[in-house]
Amino acid sequence: MNKIITSFLAPAAIGPYCQAVETDGFIFVSGQLPIDASTGEMKQGIEEQTRQSLNNILYILEAAGSNMDKIVKTTVLLKDMNDFGKMNEVYASFFNSYPARACYQVAKLPKDALVEIECIAKK
């Protein structure tokens, strides 16, 4: 049976989906925009937006009883691939060992964000 995971420290879903689902020992975290749940505001700049998106993932994983070290796969969506290096610097600081990852430039992200990050983690 699937278990819905919710953290009030991360922003609520802005559509018909949940923050995360736990099933069969894995946690599937929906794409996290760089929105600060306490203010409802989006940070400015790729570094701050990357940091906020990853903090949102951290909050959701903690609510599920997991952590960043248990992430096995991430997907990073960037508005501009020229931000790849700056995003990578912040991204690297969140991990002791790096998960598998894909990174794509996309035409547009919700709320005109510069980055959105999703992941799959072990419980």
List residues with catalytic annotation: 103
Q: Could you give the 3-state DSSP secondary structure of residue 102? A: strand
Q: Are strands 71-78 and 3-5 parallel, antiparallel or unpaired?
A: unpaired
Residue 63: partners with Cβ closer than 8 Å, 6 or more residues away: 5, 6, 7, 9, 20
